[in-house]
Structure 1
Amino acid sequence: MLTTTLCAALSAAGLALAVLTGYRRRYLRATRIAALALLPVGLAMAGLVTLGRRIATAVGDWAVDLVFKPTVWAGFVVIGCSVALYGVTRLFSRRKRGGEAAEGVGRASAVSPGAAAPALPAARGASGKRRGSSDSGLSDFADVEEILRRRGI
């Protein structure tokens, strides 16, 4: 009952301020003030003020229990153990799946069996011959060098 009375008084004060603002011919601002002034009464009538108070009380009680009850701390330890166990099982399942994929056991290949390997462009050397696979890793730049030579750069 006290909460509803307080909300009504707050709304009345806001509406009085809106009337004074409207008297000064600032109608847009007066309308905004009236809209905000009606919120406390609307929240009280809908029961949301009481709900907010109950939620705040519940959170406060939980915080007090968190500080003073060892069972709450033990609950967090149990939650931590649960998360750790789940993480360990995920780690081991990934290792097991990785080994199966390397051996080809239990997994279907993403490429059809009759498909050929993807064709990679072979780099050409300065003499125009194809280089073998025993190059030092600079074969990627051979095409760039050839283009630069053709352009005279």
Structure 2
Amino acid sequence: MIAETICSAVSAAGLGVAAITAYRKRFLAAARILAYALVPVALVMTGVVKWAASTAFSPVAWVGFGVLAVAWLLFMTTRAVERRRGGTRKERRAAARAARSEAVEPAASVPSLGPGSKPAARPQTTPTAARPGDDFSDIEAILKKHGI
């Protein structure tokens, strides 16, 4: 009963503020204030205020909210752990199986040049083993170039 009275008083005050605002020729702002002022009366008429008041003072409702919070916390914790591990066990096994089965054929990386043509041979880029005296040959060449 007290909640309905408070909502009615808030709506009456809002209607007064809307009237003063309209008197000052600010009709758009007055219409907005009027809309806000009508919300508490609408909530009382629909019974939402009565339901909210009975829920707010019900210990069973608060225990229910607590159970919901625990369920949400468990759900979010398990999701975070799952993301950290990289998915569920089933998803990890499927990804590993797919990675193993994706064997690439050796000729698949050679570009197709048309029928009857051979791919150009690549030059060998592997460095040959340096002799013991060749380590500093480039450094000696630089020093000789500068006259040192």
Q: Under a length normalisation based on structure 1, what TM-score does the superposition of the two structures give?
A: 0.48
Pick 1 or 2: higher relative contact order, CA cutoff 8 A, min separation 6: 2
Q: Which has the larger radius of gyration?
A: 2
Q: Under a length normalisation based on structure 2, what TM-score does the superposition of the two structures give?
A: 0.49
